[in-house]
Chains A and B, each alone.
Chain A
Amino acid sequence: MTGSLPRCLIVAIALAACVASANGGDIPLDQRRSGYADLGRDTKAMQDDDTSNPATLWVLDGEALWNQKAGSANRACAECHGDATASMKGVAARYPAFDAVQKSPIDLEQRINLCRTERQNATPFAFESHELLALTAFIGRQSRGMPIVSTDEKLKPAIEAGRKLFMQRIGQIDMSCAQCHDDNWGKHLTSSLVPQGHPTGYPIYRLEWQNLGSLQRRLRNCMIGMRAEPFDYGAPEAVALEAYLMWRARGLPVETPAVRP
């Protein structure tokens, strides 16, 4: 617990300082940068080399799940979708996507679980379960290097709702996402650099977690930091925020599975 109290206090004070220096406005497109750009040499190396990147262990498990029969339909993902290196290329770069049946945007984890319940007649995986993270990482890996795409008109209402959530002050600390990630990126919160907060590499292997985790876990993590009630996993608000973040990061390359401190 070394330093945890001072850390809490310092963070609160530093956050208050962020509020004071808020200047507002979207980040100009040409100034956007992935958190990767600010990683130390060793963390970059960890992400770049598949054998060094712990997330590869999940990607391999995801590949095994892709080819494994599941549910009472006794059907594997591969039986419908074939070779993921071809069929899943670019898919993660455009999620959350609008689902015509649900008539709402769904993220990649929800897409996987819809396939499970509707195509495989299997029980959905729990959010943050090893299996769901593994399949998401495996599918996401197929889009590595491809630009994030957010052009679907049907996503506009969700993106707008997500933007409002991003700008809205929340929690006991009374701060919005934007006050850190639009207005104060590049500055420091204690010794950590405040990133722009682009969802380019999810699911990520976060050194703090010593585990792979989803974008929703990361968002909940931020909300807890704001002393706000986090959104439930899969809540429409969480998906709307994901949709806004992907729009905000449009054009940046997918890094999945990324490594972050």
Chain B
Amino acid sequence: MDAPGTTRREVLIGALAGGLVATFGAAPARATPDEMRAAIRKVVGTAQVRKGRIDLDVPPLVENGNTVSLVITVDSPMTATDYVKSIHVFNEKNPQPNVIGIRLGPRAGKAKIATRFRLADTQMITAIAEMSDGSFWSASAELIVTMAACVEGL
């Protein structure tokens, strides 16, 4: 970070930030809402995505972006002829737009999953569910990520 053209102020900033450089949000490259839309397009193709049928349970205030609890429930009877085929989760501002992609089927009995994921910053996440009839449904949630006051330096 001590590159030519670096101002003294930037050097000081670097020194202060120290080990913080190693946090998750360190990469200069970032996904953008456009990249998230492109990632979603990759999954759904040209199909229309409708809002609804997905419940996203996330903490209102994220205590640490390294570990965010996520519970997704899709409204589906999960019968042999009417079930959820896949669930995909996307984010706007992590270095990459994808979080997790899940394949399931009628043998799940219930279209509900829980996992934990990382958020580099306050942002919107979107879940997309693909149904057995080929329809796509979506839900989004805005998550506020708080920063730890006392991070471990060095």
Contacts and interface: CB of A to CB of B under 8 A. Distances in A.
Chains A and B belong together in one complex: yes
B31 interface: no
Contacts of A5: 13, 16-17
A188 to B, nearest CB: 8
Interface stretch (B33-41, B45-53, B97-105, B146-154): B146-154
Contacts of B79: none
Given A2-B121, A261-B64, A41 B59 contact: yes
A189 to B, nearest CB: 4
B7 interface: no
5 smallest beta-carbon distances between A and B, as pairs: A207-B64, A42-B69, A191-B146, A189-B149, A261-B63
A183 B20 CA distance: 28
Interface of A: 1-5, 7-8, 11, 14, 39-43, 45-46, 189-192, 194, 207-210, 217, 220-222, 224-225, 261
Interface in B98-154: 120-121, 146-154
A209 B152 contact: yes
Given A5-B17, A191-B146, A207-B66, A225 B153 contact: yes
A133 to B, nearest CB: 15
Contacts of B63: 39-40, 42-43, 207, 261
Q: Which of B17, B63, B120 has the most CB of A within 10 A?
A: B63
A112 to B, nearest CB: 23
B21 interface: yes
A207 B150 CA distance: 12
Contacts of B151: 7, 208, 221, 225
A148 to B, nearest CB: 23
Contacts of B64: 207-208, 261
B67 A191 contact: no
B148 A1 contact: no
